[in-house]
Amino acid sequence: MDQSPERVAVVLGGSGGIGSAVARRLAAQGMAVVVHYAGSASRAHEVVEQITAGGGAAVAVPGDVADPGEMAGLFDTAEERFGGVDVVVNTAGIMLLAPLAEMDLDDFDRMHRVNVRGTFVVSQLAARRLRAGGSLINFSTSVTRIQQPDYAAYAATKGAVEAMTLILARELRGRDITVNAVAPGPTATPLFLDGKSEQAVRQLAAAAPLERLGAPDDIAETVAFLAGPGRWVNGQVLFANGGIA
């Protein structure tokens, strides 16, 4: 086992736009980081290289967030390499859009498997294996407030994420573990920008009082607060959206 750092973070979806920013930000706080990926090994290893080039400690680990065996293996790797797990951030998710009346049920089931079952599997492992003083941070969406057309199926999965997150915070009474969800607004990531026209992006950027899209680093700062100094924030959904809702 490597020499144990003071704190260890597991970032699910760590190769994505927000996940990679979160991984780098937590590494900047001095945490060793397990960068999880499902589809892009090259992006995950790039994040690891960026962290290690800055003097940090990181490792890339693949896995299906909805598979409890693979996720248990990921937690095992974190414990074997770095000595334990203190922070779990679950940014992993997929977004497939269509009006509710036209949504393909296979697409709905795919989102449910990753966004709901995946969050449940990761949250269950975090509840069992986080050390005292730890934090679990799941991801919702500001669409649960904005109620934007075409997002019904996606928002439904994130409503489930909010429910399990808030209940788990109460179930971990006495463990000194915080459980929260971050709900980003429109954020300039490939997941968000894919398939949107320039006009649609401009309209969404103008909707917030700050008149811009969020950046992955904006969301990473919110996560860093919850994973670090924000110990009195617990059982909450924190909307990070520039005031859009």
Catalytic residues: 154
Following CA atoms 197, 199, 202, 203 in sequence, which dihedral angle do they give, to the nearest 10 degrees? -110
